[in-house]
Structure 1
Amino acid sequence: MDEIAQQTEADRLARLRKLSFRAWRRGFKEADIILGNFADDYLPTLTPAQLDIFEVLLEVPDHDLYGWIIERDPTPEEHKSEIMNMLNVYYKKAYTKI
């Protein structure tokens, strides 16, 4: 692996660690559990564009994001995405282990 590829991989791994940390430490326990487990299960497989979307979702206030994930509240158009859909499905599937 050349130096540029190594740096790119190191940057990706650092980003995954940062996103995982943020997902697990939201400050709202229910959101921590769902987002943290989702991050552990899916972050390594997401594309850079999907990681961008996940990162934007992590900027949303906890109670809003949690409401969208559990489908208590409708997801605003600007936050509808493949990642939001994955979170909705993940919550339903993973609820039994949470």
Structure 2
Amino acid sequence: MDRATSLKRLHFRAHHRGTKEADLLIGGFFDAHGAGWSDEEMTLFEALLEEQDVDIMAWAMGTDVAPEKYAGSILAALKTLNYVPTLS
């Protein structure tokens, strides 16, 4: 699959998680960072999308420790939480 198609697929999966909170957190994270990822980071994010939303959200908020396989730039950026849009 070419890069553009992979990014579109990841975009859809990041924005259609099942709850509004997860859509905002995971989708917002993808929107802020996805375009600049390497192929390896895209593969890691795709694996992350297989995890439960509550786990991903806990890792982002620091209320639980993420598995070592996610350590690195993606998890560090996920923890900043500066990509979550505010609702009015």
**TM-score class, shorter:** 0.7 to 0.9
How is 1:1-98 mapped onto 2 (pairs within 5 angstroms)? 11-89=2-80, 91=81, 93-95=82-84, 97=86
Closer/same/farther in 2, CA of residues 95 and 13 from structure 1, 3 Å limit:
closer
Q: Which 5+ residue runs of structure 1 have no aligned equivalent?
A: 1-7
Opposite residue 83 of structure 2, the aligned amino acid is A
Closer/same/farther in 2, CA of residues 35 and 95 from structure 1, 3 Å limit:
closer
Greater RCO (CA < 8 Å, at least 6 residues apart): 2
Opposite residue 73 of structure 1, the aligned amino acid is D
11-20 or 72-81, which moves further after superposition?
Answer: 72-81
TM superposition score normalised by structure 1: 0.79
Matched residues, number: 87
Do the aligned residues in 1 keep the contact of 2:28 with 2:85 (CA within 8 Å)? no
TM superposition score normalised by structure 2: 0.86
Q: Which 5+ residue runs of structure 2 have no aligned equivalent?
A: none
